[in-house]
Structure 1
């Protein structure tokens, strides 16, 4: 594991030094979040594993992709693909293939980026991360506020609020033609305010024929009285991306010439997304608070599936209207109740077309026809009532709740049903690859209970236990984009039972969260050897996570996030002529660690050195192929040039490591990789005014 043993021993020994607790509670940490409860609260009173990437950290990192920001979260492992694409992991292996999305709920300002059943694995590129106030990460299925898709956790991007008068402009200039401009204009009029956040990104890319053009605009308005606060927002994002795919060959990422190549120069992804919402917080009386958030969503995407034989074109779209509600009432000094109802209606469309004949083997040419493969619409309706009861004394807090969720799909197939070409003729060599089920309706209902207990040991330490169930309904792509002889996908909802124990608090100069968990997942959806979508999988997930901030001296501070996890297959499945039960899941490194040492060199200058460690991991379910892992360093410096001017310099991949952002293996291509960038530099100049 190269440097990792020293790193882990140093970090853990720092935590368990025999240092006495402060008696006055002055070292207690306070982290205000909104993800744990739809009101701003101190999350440390909650029996939840919730982490936050602050605005200061986001500015210091200057992340060009959300993967860089989430490296600071223990248990998160976002693998950057190309451009704005990625594959996610949160207390899980990196999700790939069937089931790659739907296990992690992604939000912006508390609003899901996509509707239930219509997820996209890359959907966080629609969040305005570039202008975020913070990013909150809820790990595990920890709250009744989130149902479908919050199986392994929630990632919530909280946009900066300019309605109190924020005004700044910033310009990023970096290697390989990277430029990004950011602008915030806000006006505070007292009882109300308005503002706008804008970011424009242009990235020429390191590899051949790749690049990103992206624009994001976020408009906000605030109105408040003594009892009511209304915050409204509109976010519009537009992405035009020229995509570079995998490079193939064992350890090909170590060859700089091969790493730059792009075997799919025509690959692209165009995406447009619009969301509008209004969050109403009403203090009805001294004992009752009400939150109501109506929203609308409109999204369209077109991209070339360069990773499939025949390279078909896909167009998808969705339009949604929904509302989230919450009533919170204090019954007595010790008891509080929460009641709510979330509802949403969505229309989603999907169309896949192949413009050219398939190249390759005779079998591929015969079974993958030119023309239209899928064309359907799904109307989805969802409603979810929930209730929670909380007891709190001087030291104890008990939270018990449950959420019931009902989701109905009305699927309308606009083509001939079955395994045929567009005109109804059959394919040779056994039949066409793509199969379309007949129109119909499907419903899913789930009840998810939650139980959480926390105990305040003293003013600086809280211990907690959290027992929860998470679930996700099958996605529309899993139900209606079938292959081979499958005519209907009889799938159940994936469910996950989780138990977590942890401690969080302050220990003199140390602030920390230490958590351990065990999760068992049932009805995991995957594609079997007959290319049928089935929900017969089982997996087990257990891990230990540490997030720590250690003030070494007045000028030096260590921040670290470490996770050790074991994710295994628990069901009988023959793959590559072997049973994978008990195998470690592919793309599931045991150790992932991120550490930053910050030096306040002067009042105006801070220098930070970051070390990101990725352990080795298997790249196939049979555990026959693997990636060796990597250690990548970054150096950053922030100068406060004057009251208005600030400059930031960042050097990523400081020692020019040859590594892979993502490694994978398939029987068709062998080892394949998304290569990491060589050493790159980025300079930011920021001007702020009143």
Structure 2
């Protein structure tokens, strides 16, 4: 399977040609902190049950931030603890420890405009770099398995990047310049023809990076077309992204990130990642007599990625690709003024392929040299079919708003192994020390059927206060990499779907000149997939995730305001497993800081000048399952100021890591390397100029 993307030159030519025909933008729409369209409903502006909240990072916030990496924005969400890797890489966390491992990305659904970035069985731990977060209208975060709209891969929640509707005529041209050779051009423009419209949203980034031999070249574009017919709106969008990254690997040694020379070094100058993605979709929304509404969104994906796995012995090359088609739907039927029904069917078909190969002998111990051979390690194709009907019964009366629903999902894999079977070399010879590290199962089929009930309810206590609760079950089917990339003596991965039961209660409301949200949750996961001491992928793990989250936005005076997003949580192993000589049952899961806080103090000098000081606190956390090694945590200060020279020209400056703190974006521990880190960037700046079109 070969991906044939649009070339960057053709995209640039399209952008220039389209831009020349554009007109001045309309006024920006006012965004709210909690949104109910797109992420909690596919029907625009449909108000559903409020037994769960969608936290949004708004356009105003994103504009002041001008993020270089999506982790910077997700810091603003209580319960999100995304860790930045090198370049555009990251490891996700949402009401969870930081997720690692082959299929861990299946715990959080990443989407753009409501469409998952990857097919359900083919997630990638870094997949959010395929969304256009740099030019988003907002970023929505739905926590926990709350909504029947989302099934497999949404156990801990959904991160949904919403791109702007450029067909209404809004536009801008912006240039960002920053430390370490960071340059970025952003363009947004469109033309509104009343009953139709067309627009573009594009960015091009060049970042030389802080560390030796690293760098990022990245291009992203969203094209959109809108057509208004009688009682029907058809919106069509295309997203194309291209990433060409030279990657810097982990540095090793206890607290080595505090040594400037080591922190700036790159032990893996040969590492790289090249990724391309294309998504094409068309959303049809229809209104009917009686207020009934229908939304149908067919889509297709085409993606490929090559990257050097510098963190593994032998540094193999992975080449993966997938292409597929799918459809999302939702029909809202109005029974009465107090009762309505949502029904829909989601379907998807995907063809995926993966090859892992090594072109040079492994360097290391005699054991590693013998068991990690040159040649192909894996070479397989997978066809995946997903079918998922869902429903929700919604009742609103008086102060009550209740929704009861469920989602059934059937996932089927047809796996074809293109190599010999077992733990032998590509030429069929056996490795010493009991066999090769990598094991390939025979071709075969796997299927997983799951049902997830959902209950959400809210009660309007008064004009300013709302109480809510939710009880839901979530699941994720095993990912293809967990089923078919086996190790050691394992010949078949007999895995069950991971399931999760979530309970949540909360209160949200308004204060004088502010708003707040307080949530308490408990989520227990069963059949958790992990690799045991024999390197077998098994699914009898249990974990418990519970915590309290506070979000507050409050005006202190006419000029001063504060935004707070904080969480205190515990994430523990609940199953018995020996890690070395330690039973980890009851231990904290590694890379799970208990306390995380983000506070932003805002000061408006005038209507044209705004300043912000951000404080970020990451608590200490264990870096291994035995809880024997620890990262001390860190605190960072960031400063920002924006100045509107005229109604259409804004100049902004930002200083990240204002106090030049020595810290690690990520810390972990392995028995091979000991402590290892992705060092954080020292003090750095960015200046921007934005012009309305």
Give the TM-score taking structure 2 as reference length. 0.95
User: Which of the numbers 407, 417, 421 marks the counterpart of 1:417?
Assistant: 421
* Contact 2:572–2:586 under 8 Å retained in 1: yes
* Contact 2:98–2:591 under 8 Å retained in 1: yes
* Contact 1:29–1:506 under 8 Å retained in 2: no
- Structure 1 residues 474-513: aligned runs within 5 Å: 474-513=478-517
**Over the residues paired in the alignment, what is the CA RMSD in angstroms?**
1.1
**Does 1:68 find its partner at 2:76?**
no
* Contact 2:528–2:539 under 8 Å retained in 1: yes
**Does 1:306 find its partner at 2:310?**
yes
| Aligned-pair CA distance for 1:460 | 1.1
**Does 1:239 find its partner at 2:243?**
yes
- Structure 1 residues 173-252: aligned runs within 5 Å: 173-252=177-256
Q: Which residue of 2 aligns with 1:325?
A: 329
Question: What is the alpha-carbon distance in structure 2 between the residues aligned to residue 230 and residue 31 of structure 1?
Answer: 22
| Aligned-pair CA distance for 1:163 | 0.4
Question: What is the alpha-carbon distance in structure 2 between the residues aligned to residue 373 and residue 621 of structure 1?
Answer: 28
* Contact 2:349–2:383 under 8 Å retained in 1: yes
**Does 1:598 find its partner at 2:602?**
yes
- Structure 1 residues 391-470: aligned runs within 5 Å: 391-470=395-474
- Structure 1 residues 78-89: aligned runs within 5 Å: 78-89=82-93
User: Which of the numbers 101, 107, 114 marks the counterpart of 1:110?
Assistant: 114
Question: What is the alpha-carbon distance in structure 1 between the residues aligned to residue 33 and residue 587 of structure 2?
Answer: 40
Q: Which whole-Å deviations, capped at 9, do the CAs of 1:26-53 have from their partners, x for residues lacking one? A: xx98645320111234779511032000
**Does 1:564 find its partner at 2:568?**
yes
**How many residues end up aligned between the 2 structures?**
662
* Contact 1:310–1:368 under 8 Å retained in 2: yes
**Does 1:672 find its partner at 2:676?**
yes
Q: Match of 2:105, SS? A: coil
Q: Match of 1:487, SS? A: coil
Q: Match of 2:212, SS? A: coil
Q: Which whole-Å deviations, capped at 9, do the CAs of 1:623-642 have from their partners, x for residues lacking one? A: 00000000000000011110
Dislocated runs of 4+, deviation >4 Å? 42-45
Stretch moving more, 379-388 or 217-226: 217-226
User: Which of the numbers 358, 362, 385 marks the counterpart of 2:362?
Assistant: 358
Q: Which whole-Å deviations, capped at 9, do the CAs of 1:490-516 have from their partners, x for residues lacking one? A: 000000000000011102223011100
User: Which of the numbers 145, 152, 159 marks the counterpart of 1:155?
Assistant: 159
Q: Which whole-Å deviations, capped at 9, do the CAs of 1:575-634 have from their partners, x for residues lacking one? A: 021100000110000100000010001121000000000000000000000000000000
Question: What is the alpha-carbon distance in structure 1 between the residues aligned to residue 200 and residue 498 of structure 2?
Answer: 40
| Aligned-pair CA distance for 1:217 | 1.0
* Contact 2:597–2:616 under 8 Å retained in 1: yes
Q: Which residue of 2 aligns with 1:16?
A: none
Question: What is the alpha-carbon distance in structure 2 between the residues aligned to residue 395 and residue 29 of structure 1?
Answer: 22
**Does 1:273 find its partner at 2:273?**
no
Question: What is the alpha-carbon distance in structure 1 between the residues aligned to residue 244 and residue 551 of structure 2?
Answer: 36
Question: What is the alpha-carbon distance in structure 2 between the residues aligned to residue 538 and residue 243 of structure 1?
Answer: 34
User: Which of the numbers 353, 375, 379 marks the counterpart of 1:375?
Assistant: 379
| Aligned-pair CA distance for 1:388 | 0.8
**Does 1:686 find its partner at 2:683?**
no
Q: Match of 1:408, SS? A: strand
- CA spacing shift, 1:42–1:253, aligned 2, 3 Å: farther
User: Which of the numbers 282, 287, 305 marks the counterpart of 1:283?
Assistant: 287
Q: Match of 1:69, SS? A: helix
- CA spacing shift, 1:535–1:216, aligned 2, 3 Å: same
- CA spacing shift, 1:127–1:29, aligned 2, 3 Å: closer
Stretch moving more, 481-490 or 217-226: 217-226
Q: Which residue of 1 aligns with 2:126?
A: 122
Q: Which residue of 2 aligns with 1:587?
A: 591
Question: What is the alpha-carbon distance in structure 2 between the residues aligned to residue 44 and residue 399 of structure 1?
Answer: 8
Give the TM-score taking structure 1 as reference length. 0.95
Question: What is the alpha-carbon distance in structure 1 between the residues aligned to residue 481 and residue 339 of structure 2?
Answer: 44
Question: What is the alpha-carbon distance in structure 1 between the residues aligned to residue 664 and residue 569 of structure 2?
Answer: 21
- Structure 1 residues 532-551: aligned runs within 5 Å: 532-551=536-555
Question: What is the alpha-carbon distance in structure 2 between the residues aligned to residue 200 and residue 43 of structure 1?
Answer: 36
- CA spacing shift, 1:348–1:560, aligned 2, 3 Å: same
Q: Which residue of 2 aligns with 1:19?
A: none
- Structure 1 residues 646-665: aligned runs within 5 Å: 646-665=650-669
User: Which of the numbers 611, 614, 638 marks the counterpart of 1:610?
Assistant: 614
Question: What is the alpha-carbon distance in structure 1 between the residues aligned to residue 306 and residue 35 of structure 2?
Answer: 40
* Contact 1:29–1:505 under 8 Å retained in 2: no
* Contact 1:289–1:328 under 8 Å retained in 2: yes
* Contact 2:49–2:456 under 8 Å retained in 1: no
User: Which of the numbers 632, 635, 650 marks the counterpart of 2:639?
Assistant: 635
* Contact 2:35–2:54 under 8 Å retained in 1: no
Q: Which residue of 2 aligns with 1:515?
A: 519
Q: Match of 1:550, SS? A: strand
Q: Which whole-Å deviations, capped at 9, do the CAs of 1:385-441 have from their partners, x for residues lacking one? A: 011101100200110001000000000000011111001111111110110000000
* Contact 1:44–1:504 under 8 Å retained in 2: no
Question: What is the alpha-carbon distance in structure 1 between the residues aligned to residue 268 and residue 175 of structure 2?
Answer: 31
* Contact 1:147–1:403 under 8 Å retained in 2: yes
Question: What is the alpha-carbon distance in structure 1 between the residues aligned to residue 36 and residue 534 of structure 2?
Answer: 50
- CA spacing shift, 1:40–1:548, aligned 2, 3 Å: farther
User: Which of the numbers 465, 473, 476 marks the counterpart of 2:477?
Assistant: 473
Q: Match of 2:367, SS? A: helix
Show structure 1 runs of 5+ residues with no match.
Answer: 1-27
Q: Which whole-Å deviations, capped at 9, do the CAs of 1:70-129 have from their partners, x for residues lacking one? A: 100000011000000000000000011243210000100011000011000000000011
* Contact 2:173–2:691 under 8 Å retained in 1: yes
Question: What is the alpha-carbon distance in structure 1 between the residues aligned to residue 36 and residue 310 of structure 2?
Answer: 43
* Contact 2:34–2:53 under 8 Å retained in 1: no
Q: Which residue of 2 aligns with 1:4?
A: none
Q: Match of 1:259, SS? A: helix
Q: Which residue of 2 aligns with 1:21?
A: none
Question: What is the alpha-carbon distance in structure 1 between the residues aligned to residue 556 and residue 58 of structure 2?
Answer: 21
Show structure 2 runs of 5+ residues with no match.
Answer: 1-31
| Aligned-pair CA distance for 1:226 | 4.1
Q: Match of 1:47, SS? A: coil
Q: Match of 1:458, SS? A: coil
